[in-house]
Structure 1
Amino acid sequence: MVNPIYGSYWYPNYWLAGYLLNPLAPSYPYQAINPIPVGQEALWVNNWTRQQSSLLASTLTSLSNYARQLWEASQPLQLSTNNNVFLQRAATSSAPNAVTAQAEPGATLATYAISISQIATAQQNLGLSLSSTSAAGLAAGTYTFTLQVGGKTYTISFTVNAGDTNQTVLNNMAQAINASGAPVTAQVATDIVAGTSRLVLTANNTGTSNAFTLTDVTGNAVAYTGANTVSVAAANASYTLNGVPYTSQSNTIYLDNRKLRLNLLGTVTNATITVTPNIQAISNAINNFVTAYNNLVTFTAQNSQYINPELLFSLKQSYSYQAANLTAIGITQNPDGTLAVNQTALTSALQNNLGLVETAFSGINGLAVTAGLKAHQVFTSPLSSFANPLPQLNTTYLSSYNWWGLLNTTSLWALLLPPGQLLNRLV
């Protein structure tokens, strides 16, 4: 078994302690060992190994998150994606008070000349002004009239009760029109100062095909209220586009297979609509990508003890494939592998040489393509795929106690001390 302790040293049996703790120790039967430093070292190793495993797992999880962010930032810069910014368009008008435009992705890059002589209008009827609180000049009973619009006839009825005021009759008539489903909206406009009210009927849609008429069927409610009095006639838009005349029931005009929408707001002569690449969207996408790229490169470099160095090398290498083109558009690589953006040079390239920008990021071996693929590989692979092996400890007494935790603290003390000795030493 184990010999008694003399002073601060104890003399373990070779087979129980010396062999278990140091299999390569010379084969002599007794070896002086101080148990307190050994125990302290065991406790330190135990804590160190647990901490390293936890830090490794945390680092690899963060690495995966940074890689996902880079992959997501690379998507708008790749030609194969639906949200490819190189297909995004900006449409500008030389006369935004008269006509505006919105372009869909992939719209043809072009300039349109437009003149507008008439915008489309919706019919509006303004009824007679009646005293709001006076008794209505309609006998009690049910009144029926028709409302014709867009080739369809709506039959509408409402009730007048004895003693109803003009305000009440107008409100009930407006409610009946709105409940009929006809594409006409009825309101009662009241002048509080004058004490009068009148019906206001407005077509829901512009153009002559949406003009409407009201006709009494039972009673004379339409005639009494003047509901069929047109104040604004329905009209179609009239304009020329690149010299060709057109008319439209609506003020919304679609061109280029509905990829370009014009909104007519007023009359104008010789205005222009220009469709260009969305330079701002592309610039924003590039800057977002550079930020995500730099975050991943920096994190990988700062945690090189946990992350395989091949990853950092691959990320830096992805720049080299298009280094000349990237430098030409204002994207340079710092000594630490991160990227820097010269915004002035980038804006100039976007305005004057968009094809070069597209090649640098989205062409063969483009930066967004190669770095995006590497980032995708990182966050879709098992965490251990890009881990560095943890370093082994070189301890004097615990050569067999490595970072995998082959010996724990309890086992160590059980080997070092006779039964009860740990308690005696502490007391």
Structure 2
Amino acid sequence: MANSLATLSNYGRQLWEASQPLQLSTSANVFLQRTTTSSAPSAVTAQAQPGATLATYTMSISQIATAQQNMGLALTSAAATGLAPGSYNFNLQTGGKTYSLSFTVNSGDTNLTVLTNMAKAINAAGAPVTAKVATDTVAGTSRVVLTAQNTGTSNAFTLTDVTGNAVAYSGANTVSVAAANASYTLNGVPYTSTSNTIYLDNRKLSLNLLGTVTNATITVTPDTQAINNAINNFVTAYNNLVTFTAQNSQYISPQLLSILKQSYSYQAANLAAIGITQNQNGTLAINQTALTSALQNNLGLVETAFSGVNGLAVSAGFNAQQIATNPLTTFANPLPQLNTPYLSSYNWWGFLNTANLWSLLLPPGSFFNQLV
């Protein structure tokens, strides 16, 4: 009996957990989950947070935001640098801020060494600009490449020599890709943005601009696949609990099985209409074709059947919570073979309060929790 009641509690917890996504009062409410589709996924994609407004947006993109990139002159890597030994100072201006940079050229330094030290000075400054040295091993040349970390014209940058001519010699201030803002229309209204990530609907919807496009549509819909998965998980957990309860009736109160079966009856008509029927043994069967059709065409009915007043997930979830959290002996089947002169009163569920029963079953000094 102890093992059966412990397993019953485990199945109850599984059903309780499986019911949570199908209840409107929980944070895991699957009916709030969203999915998005784009008619032009190569140009714009979208992600929706739970509770995002169900809607369709029309977008045209004439320009995506770009980050500035500078590409210096190709200098012979192994050749002695044309810069005289000494300290070289230069400024990097971006975002209204000036960064003062410097590095040293030593006698005998090659162009590769000079460009590497220059890139290190830029990266060490903490500016939102990244520098690297690109080397063409076939041509035997190297050049410094600078890239803004953020897109948009407000993140453009310039370099100017202060002491010496390292910027001019390296060509580091040569713009190869100009900074640009994104330019687009949303539902016919024009906008610009320094970023290619656009937030809408109180940041519950984000759009990612990837390329130019005309009249692309982005649609936010309920995540019917997530709901379908939650329902299938719930039915599996429900059937496991009902089946185990029936198979262990010698240990488990028969009233529990009756209560579990009754959970279906409250919304029987709506559940049948969406493809969820009850077998004679109390387990549930899913007509997947009918359920898929209901999810696509009558989601409100699905929500009512599971999450409305006396919905299956609400009612069965409550029962499962009681099984998982009440003392195991709450659901024990009275053992008529025991000649007990007195059995204590039944609790509000109608199940036996079996504290006295366990005192007869266990030897003196034993505790029920030592058995499970």
| TM-score above 0.5, yes or no | yes
Match of 1:165 in 2: 110
Match of 2:237 in 1: 292
Match of 2:306 in 1: 361
Task: Determine the C-alpha separation between the residues in 2 that align with 1:404 and 1:116.
Answer: 76
Q: Where do residues 267-286 of structure 1 align in structure 2 (5 Å cutoff)?
A: 267-286=212-231
In the TM superposition, residue 126 of structure 1 has moved relative to its aligned partner by: 0.3
Match of 2:287 in 1: 342
Q: 1:138 aligns with which of 54, 58, 83?
A: 83
Match of 1:377 in 2: 322
Q: Which amino acid aligns with 1:163?
A: G
Match of 2:53 in 1: 108
Aligned pair count reads 345
Match of 2:159 in 1: 214
In the TM superposition, residue 389 of structure 1 has moved relative to its aligned partner by: 2.8
Q: 2:261 aligns with which of 304, 316, 329?
A: 316
Q: Which amino acid aligns with 1:224?
A: Y
Match of 1:120 in 2: 65
In the TM superposition, residue 157 of structure 1 has moved relative to its aligned partner by: 1.1
Task: Determine the C-alpha separation between the residues in 2 that align with 1:304 and 1:405.
Answer: 21
The answer to whether the 8 A contact 1:91-1:274 is kept is: yes
Q: 2:12 aligns with which of 55, 67, 82?
A: 67
Q: Where do residues 183-202 of structure 1 align in structure 2 (5 Å cutoff)?
A: 183-202=128-147
The answer to whether the 8 A contact 1:67-1:379 is kept is: yes
Task: Determine the C-alpha separation between the residues in 2 that align with 1:178 and 1:307.
Answer: 70
Task: Determine the C-alpha separation between the residues in 1 that align with 2:79 and 2:166.
Answer: 16
Match of 2:39 in 1: 94
In the TM superposition, residue 140 of structure 1 has moved relative to its aligned partner by: 1.4
In the TM superposition, residue 141 of structure 1 has moved relative to its aligned partner by: 1.4
SS in 1 for 2:70: strand
Any stretches of 5+ residues in structure 2 without a counterpart? Answer: 340-358, 365-372
In the TM superposition, residue 99 of structure 1 has moved relative to its aligned partner by: 0.2
Q: Which amino acid aligns with 1:234?
A: A
In the TM superposition, residue 336 of structure 1 has moved relative to its aligned partner by: 0.7
SS in 2 for 1:392: coil
The answer to whether the 8 A contact 1:390-1:403 is kept is: no
SS in 1 for 2:80: coil
Structure 1's consecutive aligned runs of 4 or more residues displaced over 3 angstroms after TM superposition are 402-407
The answer to whether the 8 A contact 1:392-1:403 is kept is: no
Task: Determine the C-alpha separation between the residues in 2 that align with 1:406 and 1:120.
Answer: 78
What is the aligned-residue RMSD (CA, Å)? 1.5
In the TM superposition, residue 406 of structure 1 has moved relative to its aligned partner by: 8.0
Change (3 A) 1:100 1:405: closer
Q: Does 1:265 align with 2:217?
A: no
Task: Determine the C-alpha separation between the residues in 2 that align with 1:152 and 1:243.
Answer: 36
Task: Determine the C-alpha separation between the residues in 1 that align with 2:140 and 2:336.
Answer: 92
Task: Determine the C-alpha separation between the residues in 2 that align with 1:190 and 1:406.
Answer: 83
Q: Does 1:81 align with 2:81?
A: no
In the TM superposition, residue 218 of structure 1 has moved relative to its aligned partner by: 1.2
SS in 1 for 2:330: helix
Q: 1:176 aligns with which of 101, 107, 121?
A: 121
Post-superposition Cα deviations, 1:248-282, rounded to whole Å, max 9, x if no partner, equal 00000011111110000000001100111111011
Q: Which amino acid aligns with 1:367?
A: L
Match of 1:303 in 2: 248
SS in 2 for 1:128: coil
Match of 1:147 in 2: 92
Task: Determine the C-alpha separation between the residues in 2 that align with 1:331 and 1:358.
Answer: 13
Task: Determine the C-alpha separation between the residues in 2 that align with 1:406 and 1:70.
Answer: 34
Q: Which amino acid aligns with 2:76?
A: S
The answer to whether the 8 A contact 1:89-1:107 is kept is: yes
Q: Which amino acid aligns with 2:198?
A: I
In the TM superposition, residue 405 of structure 1 has moved relative to its aligned partner by: 7.5
Q: Which amino acid aligns with 1:362?
A: S
Task: Determine the C-alpha separation between the residues in 2 that align with 1:405 and 1:333.
Answer: 39
Task: Determine the C-alpha separation between the residues in 1 that align with 2:325 and 2:362.
Answer: 30
In the TM superposition, residue 391 of structure 1 has moved relative to its aligned partner by: 4.9
Task: Determine the C-alpha separation between the residues in 1 that align with 2:298 and 2:71.
Answer: 58
Task: Determine the C-alpha separation between the residues in 2 that align with 1:269 and 1:356.
Answer: 37
Task: Determine the C-alpha separation between the residues in 1 that align with 2:167 and 2:361.
Answer: 93
SS in 2 for 1:158: strand
Mark the structure with the bigger radius of gyration.
1
SS in 1 for 2:51: coil
